[in-house]
Amino acid sequence: GESVGLHLPTLSVQEGDNSIINCAYSNSASDYFIWYKQESGKGPQFIIDIRSNMDKRQGQRVTVLLNKTVKHLSLQIAATQPGDSAVYFCAENPTGNTPLVFGKGTRLSVIA
Amino acid sequence: NAGVMQNPRHLVRRRGQEARLRCSPMKGHSHVYWYRQLPEEGLKFMVYLQKENIIDESGMPKERFSAEFPKEGPSILRIQQVVRGDSAAYFCASSRDSQNYGYTFGSGTRLTVV
């Protein structure tokens, strides 16, 4: 079964607010995690990644936090914009040469 | 510098026909992954290939489905005798090496079986 899951299937936020999307994973051996954004009718697009030897990584308006103790991953989007509306997936790399495992996704809707 | 190219974008097949989905990886990428996505669901791994080799096909149904990545040309996902349950979006991703870092996805092929 899936080893990656999400707490919230949908999230609505006001434009300009911060968004937090959560993800739980079950494989403690996973050493690499990625967040993808998927807009309607398109393929998943890489947003940000983090390795297991880190607990935080920042990009442009996005931050990923990793809590290995509770096997939890989150994506924070600052000053959410209408263009951020999409489905967001977390994915984990269980071990070395194995394909990424994806969670079910969270739909983010930005209210103008 | 084209990304991962998938074609066709949309494919309609009648039950019992064959579907062929093509994927050309990014330049310099020799690892290809196929995923399937049902509406409102996540991506389910199907098969992982390198040039001329199937590395992991644990997510691919044993019957009717096959995949290849020949020395020359795109990777092909082939579905024989399609059924309505095969209707889904099929995504291909490629990576430079085997450590799965930095998958790049194509835009997908949306298969509809009527």
With an 8 Å Cβ cutoff, is A45 touching chain B?
yes
Asked if A100 lies within 8 A of B100 by C-beta distance, the reply is: yes
d(CA B38, CA B41): 5
Mean per-residue pLDDT, A39-60: 94
Dihedral class, residue A31 (left if φ above 0, else alpha if ψ from -120 to 50, else beta): alpha
* Chain B residue with Cα closest to A33: B101
* Chain A residue with Cα closest to B102: A46
Enumerate residues 6+ apart whose C-beta is below 8 A from A6. A21, A22, A23, A24, A90, A103, A104, A105, A106
Nearest CB to B43 within list A32, A49, A102:
A102
* Cβ-based contacts of A41 with chain B (< 8 Å): 107
Q: How confident is the model at residue A7 (pLDDT cuts 50, 70, 90)?
A: very low
Asked if B102 lies within 8 A of A101 by C-beta distance, the reply is: no
pLDDT in tens, B22-36: 999 999 899 999 999
Q: How confident is the model at residue B40 (pLDDT cuts 50, 70, 90)?
A: confident
To test the contact with chain A by mutation, choose from B38, B58, B100 the residue with the greatest count of A C-beta atoms within 10 A, namely B100
Predicted local confidence at residue A1, as pLDDT: 36
Nearest CB to A42 within list B42, B99, B107:
B107
Mean per-residue pLDDT, A29-37: 93
For residue A45, give the nearest of A84, A12, A92, A94 by alpha carbon. A84
